[in-house]
């Protein structure tokens, strides 16, 4: 393939976008581009965008706003807006970003090469927001790997049909589609062969994998992926509480490689708000699923997503959410102020909450959660945790001195996804080591190899 110059990719948003960007990088490499981390030398700039909240969308537009300046410097520069904002805006994208060459929607990635051909033959302002029945499946491009990476994402499904009333995803990512399990296993095997030790199965709603159009169920998929040699750990995100089946709970307890960590977004602790959000469960059913999970896997770490300031959320509703944190004691939370998305139904709901109130509730929630995050970390002191080594710590612990010049401060993640630092003269990237925790900090743990 002819040398087309250098391509720069900027990724905004979730893990799914990180995964998609890697696939887009693979297409560009196959097309003749070489990847660069320096935008100034790029011949092609692609921004993979996110529209989940207003802030993410603004971040995309502010980056894209630089295209005019870049094009002035290098008139041959090709500019591409990809992903969720591209899907949402279509033709309208040119109003805000006139110097754009291609608007590439979320289901158009496989057609990037043919759009570049069209551009080369003189076509301008290409928009592709067409739906596609097939999931774009490209095998991993090892040339895009950083040799220190131990963990990668694998998309197992696309789209979402839950239509939570605040959420833009069903409108920008389309209907739910599950990928065939053989291709997922093949991709996982390819990753394992190139040295990857941990995979995270991705989807908006992974635990409904296969329900609509898959060939096997999600617990069966976990089983198949577990059999891939070389893969030592399996994570998955995101799960919907209404689809947390007994079968999945059993599989999590049974399969050693599946990490003892579940990210289970609750969004609100108030039944009135959950109903308006169209979440399909109540506070009580959420709590009973958590009890079943803890019974089967007592060491299970839990994290969640919460939205504060959903339209009409009262102080009492918010207190229900606060109570939920106290009751469940999550290891960590991701909390967001409700952000109006014009394509989602909640934008038209009455009683929108003032920004200042949203911010106050957000801060209250984050402050309360700190207690539980610290408590969960402190409970690990004196215990052995299994750590997948990711590399040498950037920041050395105060007082980290050693006579042994081979001794390094390494870091990795526990099964529960907590960062663990430890001294070692042996551990290498990709190893699974057992570390006895000696100190707990708000955002990390410190320990030593067990038995040392
Ligand atoms: N406003 C605020 N947060 C949102 N999320 C999704 N849509 C919105 C919105 N309109 C949050 C949810 C979801 C996470 C990925 O983003 O908590 O689980
Ligand atoms: Fe959005 Fe709800 Fe689907 Fe999650 S489950 S992507 S919050 S619509």
For ligand 1, atom 17, which residue shows the shortest CA distance?
A: 305
Q: Cβ(170) to ligand 2 under 6 A?
A: yes
155 CA distance to ligand 2 middle (Å): 16
Q: Cβ(346) to ligand 2 under 6 A?
A: no
pLDDT given at position 397? 73
Contacts of 75 (CB under 8 A, 6+ apart): none
- For 384-449, CATH gives 2.40.50
pLDDT given at position 400? 64
pLDDT given at position 141? 72
Tell me the CA distances in angstroms from 317 to 270, 361, 370, 386, one per residue in order: 5, 11, 21, 39
Domain range 5-128, its CATH number among 3.10.620.30, 3.50.50.100, 3.40.50.12160, 3.40.50.1820: 3.40.50.12160
Q: Give CA–CA dist 256/269, Å, rounded.
A: 32
pLDDT given at position 32? 95
pLDDT given at position 63? 95
Ligand nearest to the CA of 14: 1
pLDDT given at position 143? 67
In this chain, the answer to whether the domains covering 145-259 and 261-379 adopt an identical fold is yes
306 CA distance to ligand 1 middle (Å): 8
- Range list of H helices, 80-141: 84-89, 93-96, 112-120
pLDDT given at position 144? 66
Q: Give CA–CA dist 28/44, Å, rounded.
A: 9
pLDDT given at position 394? 85
Before 238, cis peptide (omega within 30)? yes
Q: What is residue 432's DSSP assignment? A: E
Ligand nearest to the CA of 265: 1
Say if residue 292 is exposed, middle or buried (CB neighbours under 10 Å; 0-12, 13-18, 19+): middle
Contacts of 321 (CB under 8 A, 6+ apart): 268, 269, 270, 306, 308, 365
Q: Give CA–CA dist 12/50, Å, rounded.
A: 6
Domain range 145-259, its CATH number among 3.40.1410.10, 3.30.750.210, 3.40.50.300, 3.30.70.260: 3.30.750.210
- For 261-379, CATH gives 3.30.750.200
pLDDT given at position 146? 72
Give the DSSP letter string of 193-247: HTT--EEEEE-TTGGGTTTSS-SS-HHHHHHHHHTSTT--EEEEE---GGG--HH
Domain ranges of the chain: 5-128, 145-259, 261-379, 384-449
Total-model pTM: 0.94
Nearest to 79 by CA among 104, 106, 55, 62: 104
For the CA of 167, the nearest atom of ligand 2:
1
Residues of the chain with confidence (pLDDT) below 70? 1-2, 142-145, 398-403, 452
pLDDT given at position 1? 59
pLDDT given at position 445? 96
Contacts of 295 (CB under 8 A, 6+ apart): none
Tell me the CA distances in angstroms from 386 to 39, 256, 417, 420, 444, one per residue in order: 39, 12, 11, 10, 14
């Amino acid at each position: 393939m002819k040398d087309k110059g250098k391509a720069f990719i900027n990724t905004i948003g979730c893990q799914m976008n990180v995964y998609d960007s890697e696939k887009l990088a693979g297409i560009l490499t196959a097309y003749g581009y070489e990847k660069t981390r320096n935008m100034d030398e790029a011949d092609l700039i692609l921004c993979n965008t996110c529209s989940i909240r207003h802030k993410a969308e603004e971040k995309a537009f502010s980056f894209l706003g630089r295209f005019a300046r870049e094009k002035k410097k290098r008139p041959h520069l090709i500019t591409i807006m990809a992903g969720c904002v591209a899907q949402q805006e279509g033709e309208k994208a040119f109003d805000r970003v006139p110097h754009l060459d291609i608007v590439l929607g979320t289901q158009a990635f496989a057609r990037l090469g043919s759009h570049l051909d069209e551009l080369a033959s003189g076509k301008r302002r290409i928009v592709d927001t067409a739906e596609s029945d097939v999931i774009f499946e490209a095998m991993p491009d090892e040339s895009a790997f950083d040799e220190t990476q131990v963990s990668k994402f694998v998309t197992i499904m696309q789209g979402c049909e839950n239509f939570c009333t605040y959420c833009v995803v069903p409108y920008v990512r389309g209907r739910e589609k599950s990928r065939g399990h053989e291709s997922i296993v093949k991709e996982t095997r390819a990753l394992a062969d190139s040295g990857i030790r941990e995979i995270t199965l991705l989807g908006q709603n992974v635990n409904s994998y296969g329900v609509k159009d898959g060939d096997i169920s999600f617990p069966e998929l976990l089983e198949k992926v577990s059999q891939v040699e070389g893969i030592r750990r399996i994570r998955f995100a995101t799960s919907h509480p209404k689809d947390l089946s007994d079968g999945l709970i059993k599989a999590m307890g049974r399969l050693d490689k599946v990490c003892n960590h579940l990210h289970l977004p609750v969004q609100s602790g108030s039944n009135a708000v959950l109903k308006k959000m169209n979440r399909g469960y109540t506070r009580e059913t959420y709590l009973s699923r958590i009890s079943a999970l803890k019974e089967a896997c007592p060491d299970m770490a839990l994290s969640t997503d919460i939205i504060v300031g959903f339209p009409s959320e009262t102080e009492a509703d918010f207190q229900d959410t606060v109570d939920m944190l106290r009751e469940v004691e999550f290891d960590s939370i991701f909390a967001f102020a409700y952000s109006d998305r014009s394509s989602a139904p909640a934008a038209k709901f009455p009683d929108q909450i003032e920004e200042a109130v949203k911010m106050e509730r957000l801060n209250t929630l984050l402050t309360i959660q700190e207690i539980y995050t610290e408590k969960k970390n402190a409970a690990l002191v004196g215990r052995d945790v299994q750590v997948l080594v990711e590399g040498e710590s950037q920041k050395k612990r105060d007082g980290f001195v050693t006579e042994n010049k081979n001794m390094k401060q390494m870091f990795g993640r526990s099964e529960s996804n907590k960062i663990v630092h430890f001294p070692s003269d042996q551990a290498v990237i990709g190893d699974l080591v057992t570390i006895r925790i000696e100190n707990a900090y708000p955002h990390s743990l410190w320990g030593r190899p067990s038995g040392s």
